[in-house]
Amino acid sequence: MKFGVVVFPGSNCDRDVQEALAYDLNQEVLMLWHKDKDLGMFNPEDCIILPGGFSYGDYLRCGAIARFSPIMQSIIEFAGAGGKILGICNGFQILCESHLLPGALLRNASQQFVCKNVFIKNDNDQIYKIPIAHGEGRYYADEKTLDELEANGQVIFRYCDENGNIVAEANPNGASRNIAGICNTNRNVFAMMPHPERACSFALGNTDGREIIKNLLMTEQLVNQ
């Protein structure tokens, strides 16, 4: 399994993702410039990651310009062929702008940039402590779309307190229904606002991000290495 990490002008978490994958998870990683179009070195068992940052300075809307980068059409085709895609923070915004995922990311309800550790949990009630760092991370979709996401099991993470309670006080940005991450109906395109790559190193005292990456993206063989 290989990972590709896309570098957009303004990306600032691309190297964090590379180092987490290469040095903490011992995976093969290729860096992909946003003007690249050829993804022929990847197969559907591989994964492309859209990292966090401020692609194109967040002009217009977060992710709105990056959506038109040459590599994105190739990524849309790769996803259509079953390839795995993970968008983190700004990558989440890009995937929504590209219509690979429904909904949108709006300015935080507090109207302030938020940078801290939060708790999230998956649909198996596993709780993770993961950093966030965003100003426009409030996931929004209309009620019909939210109902469909929940009915299809597409909500992969929700903000919660340290005991796993999904409460308003644990929601750092005002996201609809405490949603921190979603996937597509085929479960090969994933996105989340928190940064798992920032919780992979033992030196940081938190490796919950390793488990998130493994559980979302990696085969059983790789997980057991």
The catalytic residues are 89, 195, 197
3 and 197 Cβ atoms separated by less than 8 Å: no
CA-based end-to-end distance of the chain: 13
60 and 97 Cβ atoms separated by less than 8 Å: no
Name the percent of the chain in helix, strand, coil, to the closest 5: 30, 25, 40
99 and 72 Cβ atoms separated by less than 8 Å: no
Q: How far are the Cα atoms of 19, 124, 203 from residue 23, in angstroms, in the given order?
A: 5, 28, 12
The answer to whether the Cα torsion of 56, 62, 197, 80 is positive or negative is negative
Look at residues 154, 162, 175, 167 and name the one whose alpha carbon lies nearest to residue 208.
162
Rounded to whole angstroms, the Cα distance separating 117 from 132 reads 6
188 and 82 Cβ atoms separated by less than 8 Å: yes
